[in-house]
Structure formats: C-alpha cells, structure tokens
Amino acid sequence: VGSRSVAQLLGLYVAFAIVSFTFRSSFSMLARMQFHITPRQNGFIMSYMGVLSVLVQTFGIRFLVKHFSEKQLIQRSFILLGISFLLSSQLDLYAFLISLIPIILASGLIRTCLISAITKDVARHKTGGTIGLIGSVD
C-alpha cells in the first residue's frame, strides 16, 4: 500500500476490527454476567443484532451515503460507536437492546465506508490485493 491516506485508513480499519472482534467474541459472556440471561435469551439477542445489521446494510447505509460524505460518516460513526459503548455498559437489559441500534449502525457504516474509501484511494491494479488484505483482518 503506497499512499499515506490508504495506510491511515487501513490503520483505522485494523483498530476498528480489533474493537469489533473483541465486542463480538466477549458479548455472550458479558451479557450473561451483566444481565443474568439464559443462553436462549442470549441467542435471541444475537438474532436481534443480526436483524439490525441486515437493516443497516440494506437501508441505512444507502440513505446516509446520499446525505453525507464518507469522511463525515466515518468520523461521526466512530464518535457514535464510542459514546454508545460507554453508555451501554451502564444500562439495564431493555435500554441495552435499544443502545445496540447505534452500535450496529455505527459498526456497519464504519466497515462499509472504510472499505469504500480504501478501495477508492488505491491504484486500480492494487484493488484486489487491498481487498484481500482487508479480508484477512476481518
């Protein structure tokens, strides 16, 4: 990767991927400890998160990209994600379920917009390798 801009975007993507992986991998255990839920209830929450992701990917991103630049979406999504994570740790179960909406929205926007920005900034002949590099991080 030759461009400083691409290197910075890849660095952001790696940082986001670490946060995202940590959240996904520890979510079940933390939810059971914090909210005292059963494995079945945890499964319902995971399904709810999946449905939210589909809705964000299907409708939310398309709408927001029409009204904001990728740079604005990336910046605002990181802020939203940070605030949402901080607030979500202080909530009861039902408020937590609502707080998952901005977490999933911000995560979907960050992932999509960063990949888009990175692939736009690399030379055309390096796009495939760059996408492979991004895929190896996920």
Dump pLDDT digits (tens) for 42-62. Answer: 999 999 999 999 999 898 888
Tokens of 46: 């995971």
Q: What's the confidence (pLDDT) of residue 53?
A: 92
Q: What's the confidence (pLDDT) of residue 92?
A: 87
Q: What's the confidence (pLDDT) of residue 6?
A: 86
Tokens of 2: 């030759």
Q: What's the confidence (pLDDT) of residue 3?
A: 64
Q: What's the confidence (pLDDT) of residue 88?
A: 82
Tokens of 31: 């939810």
Whole-structure pTM value: 0.84
DSSP 90: T
Q: What's the confidence (pLDDT) of residue 137?
A: 81
Tokens of 123: 């030379």
CA 28 to chain CA centroid, Å, is 17
Residues 6 or more apart from 40 whose CB is under 8 A from it? Answer: none
Q: What's the confidence (pLDDT) of residue 107?
A: 94
Residues of the chain with pLDDT under 50: 1
Residue with tokens 């900034």: 121
Asked if 13 and 107 touch (Cβ cutoff 8 Å), the reply is no
Residue closest to 111 by CA, chosen among 7, 14, 1: 14
